[in-house]
Structure 1
Amino acid sequence: MATPDAGPPSAIAPLLTPAGWDLLHRVGPWDENQVLTLSESLRREGHPPELVAAVLSQTRLRARAVGKFGEFARTMLFTPDGLEQATRLSVAARHAQRFVTADLRRVADLGCGIGADAMALAALDREVTAVERDETTAAVATVNLMPWPNVRVVQADATAVDLSAVDGVWLDPARRTGAAGGARRLFDPESFSPPFSFVTSLAASGLPVGVKLGPGLAHEAIPEDAEAQWISVDGGVAEVALWFEVLRRPGVRRSAVVVSGGGAHPGSAELTSPDPYRPGSFDGETGPVSRYLIEPDGAVIRAGLVTDLARLIGAHQVNEQIAYLSADTHEPTPFARAWTVREVLPFHLKTLRAWVREHQVGTLEIKKRGIAQTPEQVRRELAPKGPGRATLFLTRLGATEKRVAIVADPVPH
């Protein structure tokens, strides 16, 4: 991802020398308990304080990066913002595969950030021009992409790059503004860098384009000629990617991909629809709370595929506006988590407080949809205390909008 100002080049400059690079690779894995001892030891060896600080900072970032990059993290460079905003390598591989399937060999990665998507494209033998505006981030990307001779990194504004020699474009616009550490998240697509209108203009020119955006993108903002794909990783919705021209799959307008397991070879599943989503429309079934309560994955919800999931697993919604499903039987699915219903209580704080006290519940998980109160507010009111555990789902039922608290236990995966 293109990043806001990642800080001055001096933040990584000490590492970009033979001595700095050698020291970075001699220091062992990050150990919080040994960092002070290690810092003092390196200074006693005569290493400059700025180099020691840079090495320890990178060691810490590399440890954090393993979840996104696996073993690759141990030889990469990072900035804090760059790591936070970088695409997971497993997801970047999905992006890159689109270009392979479409037989697009020369790809421009506009807003390459620290280089995650460019790495995935290069690993699949694409010729990549990786463009990054920020000087420090471009330097980091250059180091990270050195193992691939089929990549060149260009420090430039993405909107000013000549694209006449490429077959397709991948974009990851910066969705934050401000200096590193104090960046503010942006929600208006026209405030992104580059702006969304630049993306759509590229697509309108006939160039195959893929773009990564925040998962909260409104369905109304999705162009008619785009396929939208929401991706979640281990339960957290990571992005929505829009695909144009030959990168778009025939017969698919929107989809939800659920990735689980992490690591180099995670499992995944996809739910697709050929139709655009029209917020406010409802073509599913509603019904009472049955034996099982089903909580769809966030990608399914964002993609507007809750009713599709309900039909797939033989379930119904408890309220047409709320993304909780229920069923008499349990149909395992990667697209949702299931809970066995214990009780359905009226959502009255006095009633719930008495139930928590009676069952000696001290560990209380609270989930909610369609209820104004936050879980924190409710937890304070209920004052859980004791050895018991419970999960409460606070929601509304059916056309009557009756407010309830559903006590449920997770079904083992």
Structure 2
Amino acid sequence: MLRENEIQFIQENLHRDPVAIALEAAKYPDLDVPRLVGQIKARQKLKDKMPQWVANERVFFPPALALEQSSSEDTAHFKASLLHGKVVDLTGGMGLDSYAFAQTGCDVEYIERQEELAKITAYNHSVLKAGKIQHHTGDSLNWLSESAELFDFLYVDPARRDGAGNKVVLLQDCEPNALELIPYINNKTSLLIKTSPLLDLDRAIKELQGVKKIYIVCVKNEVKELLFLKTSQSSEDPTIEVIELSQADSLLFKGKKSIESASICDFCPVSNYLYEPHAGVLKAGFFKSVGKGLQKIAPNTHLYTSMELHTNFAGRTFEVLAEGPLEKKWIKMVLPAGKANISTRNFPIKADEIRKKFQLKDGGELTLFAFRDQANKNKVVLAKKIS
């Protein structure tokens, strides 16, 4: 895929502006500079997402669209921890997930309908010494229907763009349609589906006729992907696990919708400590159960408070320093340096608008919380992060 002089060119220009490199193409008549600029762009963009692949000088990155939906190395390795035995990756793509599966000892069948992308992936897997992966080109559902082999896991990461290139979210709108894989599930074979973080959990559970478990996979308080594990023991009330991969113990919180529905939450004004739930917890809809032992600010304001400090909260914990109105005089009094993070919850004004209106710089150890209380009145609290 890459000649020695091409590898050398990429490495020598890896930290330069790709646009500037492209403008110098005439200096290198023996090189396909636009092609190599594409490789440099990919390596610059993916250095944090795929460090192991980027570190290998011989890896060749496919076109940008194939990179768009790819897992990160961290999320791929987490998925690999859920699988075992014989696995078929029905949406092979650039092959990062297949690579992670093989690295944990799985026997992997990789299927990709785009011939050129499949060739690139097979080359990269060889360069990376991926493990036991068989590469196939074609329609994955046709391939599966014609296969006589029983697999331990089917894995699918459906393309989230339609024929016109528009982004889609619903399972039946993605390609392939994961719902068509349900008949293949039995006592031997399970199905793991990766979806957009925007997918509605309740709707997906219903469409999939129940699942065994849902994983909300996050990195640094950002939801990266949703995983639906469907087995022959699936349920309409599955366990939902919030995974935070930036922590040593990645299991941040778990629960069920039935437990959430039965939970009771007390409400009260802001006290000495303020708690902001993790983004994954909010995605799970655990608005009451996450606040066990705490009081909530208001039904639609997902902030919690307590007089005494509670540790091990699934989110961020703050000490309340001051409470006042969203007025210039008060803001200047409590923030003389004019610098703070801003977080809004159930508030009519967005954080960026508040920052602009009061000319506040971003950052620092203080956070300005703007929210509505139980009486539906606007409140502002200044707080300092504890954890």
State the TM-score, normalized to the length of structure 1. 0.79
Choose from 329, 350, 373 the match for 1:354. Answer: 329
**RMSD across aligned positions (CA):** 3.2
Tell whether the 8 Å contact from 1:258 to 1:335 is kept in structure 2 after alignment.
Answer: no
Residue 410 (structure 1) aligns with:
385
Residue 109 (structure 2) aligns with:
129
Which amino acid in structure 1 is aligned with residue 380 of structure 2?
Answer: A
- Deviation at residue 290 of structure 1 after TM alignment: 1.7
- Deviation at residue 128 of structure 1 after TM alignment: 0.9
| Partner Cα distance (1:360, 1:270) in 2 | 36
Tell whether the 8 Å contact from 2:99 to 2:131 is kept in structure 1 after alignment.
Answer: no
Residue 340 (structure 1) aligns with:
319
Tell whether the 8 Å contact from 1:235 to 1:297 is kept in structure 2 after alignment.
Answer: yes
Q: Secondary structure at the match of 2:82?
A: helix
Residue 137 (structure 2) aligns with:
155
Choose from 401, 406, 409 the match for 2:376. Answer: 401
Residue 115 (structure 1) aligns with:
95
Alignment of 1:249-260 (within 5 A): 253-260=239-246
Alignment of 1:265-276 (within 5 A): 268-273=250-255, 275-276=256-257
Asked if 1:167 corresponds to 2:142, the answer is no
Asked if 1:52 corresponds to 2:33, the answer is yes
Structure 2 stretches lacking a partner, 5+ long: none
Structure 1 stretches lacking a partner, 5+ long: 1-15
Residue 380 (structure 1) aligns with:
356
| Partner Cα distance (2:159, 2:22) in 1 | 36
Asked if 1:81 corresponds to 2:98, the answer is no
Which amino acid in structure 2 is aligned with residue 197 of structure 1?
Answer: L
| Partner Cα distance (2:215, 2:362) in 1 | 44
Distance change in 2, residues 1:388/1:192 (3 Å) = closer
| Partner Cα distance (1:378, 1:372) in 2 | 10
Asked if 1:367 corresponds to 2:343, the answer is yes
| Partner Cα distance (2:303, 2:383) in 1 | 13
| Partner Cα distance (2:140, 2:201) in 1 | 25
Distance change in 2, residues 1:378/1:204 (3 Å) = farther
Which amino acid in structure 2 is aligned with residue 77 of structure 1?
Answer: F
Residue 162 (structure 2) aligns with:
177
Asked if 1:241 corresponds to 2:264, the answer is no
- Deviation at residue 170 of structure 1 after TM alignment: 0.6
Distance change in 2, residues 1:271/1:385 (3 Å) = closer
Distance change in 2, residues 1:388/1:151 (3 Å) = closer
| Partner Cα distance (2:233, 2:93) in 1 | 22
Which amino acid in structure 2 is aligned with residue 224 of structure 1?
Answer: G
Tell whether the 8 Å contact from 2:190 to 2:231 is kept in structure 1 after alignment.
Answer: yes
| Partner Cα distance (2:240, 2:310) in 1 | 23
- Deviation at residue 228 of structure 1 after TM alignment: 1.0
Residue identity over aligned pairs, in percent, reads: 19
- Deviation at residue 206 of structure 1 after TM alignment: 6.8
Distance change in 2, residues 1:253/1:213 (3 Å) = same
Moved more, 295-304 or 71-80: 71-80
Distance change in 2, residues 1:303/1:57 (3 Å) = same
Distance change in 2, residues 1:334/1:81 (3 Å) = farther
Tell whether the 8 Å contact from 1:323 to 1:369 is kept in structure 2 after alignment.
Answer: yes
Name which structure has the greater RCO, CA cutoff 8 Å, separation 6+: 1
Distance change in 2, residues 1:342/1:157 (3 Å) = same
How many correspondences in the alignment? 371
Deviations 1:93-132 (A, max 9, x none): 22112222xxxx2111011221111011111121111112
Residue 216 (structure 2) aligns with:
230
Distance change in 2, residues 1:248/1:73 (3 Å) = farther
Tell whether the 8 Å contact from 1:292 to 1:341 is kept in structure 2 after alignment.
Answer: yes
| Partner Cα distance (2:233, 2:107) in 1 | 17
Residue 265 (structure 2) aligns with:
284
| Partner Cα distance (1:231, 1:388) in 2 | 27
Distance change in 2, residues 1:404/1:140 (3 Å) = farther
Q: Secondary structure at the match of 2:176?
A: coil
Q: Secondary structure at the match of 1:325?
A: strand
| Partner Cα distance (1:186, 1:281) in 2 | 33
Moved more, 219-228 or 112-121: 219-228
| Partner Cα distance (1:21, 1:247) in 2 | 51
| Partner Cα distance (1:407, 1:38) in 2 | 49
Distance change in 2, residues 1:23/1:332 (3 Å) = farther
Distance change in 2, residues 1:282/1:369 (3 Å) = farther
Which amino acid in structure 2 is aligned with residue 403 of structure 1?
Answer: N
Distance change in 2, residues 1:334/1:210 (3 Å) = farther
Q: Secondary structure at the match of 1:317?
A: strand
- Deviation at residue 211 of structure 1 after TM alignment: 0.5
Tell whether the 8 Å contact from 2:15 to 2:44 is kept in structure 1 after alignment.
Answer: no
Distance change in 2, residues 1:92/1:37 (3 Å) = closer
| Partner Cα distance (2:281, 2:162) in 1 | 29
Residue 197 (structure 1) aligns with:
179
Tell whether the 8 Å contact from 2:6 to 2:36 is kept in structure 1 after alignment.
Answer: yes
| Partner Cα distance (1:204, 1:210) in 2 | 13
- Deviation at residue 357 of structure 1 after TM alignment: 3.6
Choose from 338, 343, 368 the match for 1:392. Answer: 368
- Deviation at residue 232 of structure 1 after TM alignment: 0.6
Q: Secondary structure at the match of 2:214?
A: strand
Deviations 1:16-44 (A, max 9, x none): 2xxx332342232611259746974x754
Distance change in 2, residues 1:224/1:283 (3 Å) = farther
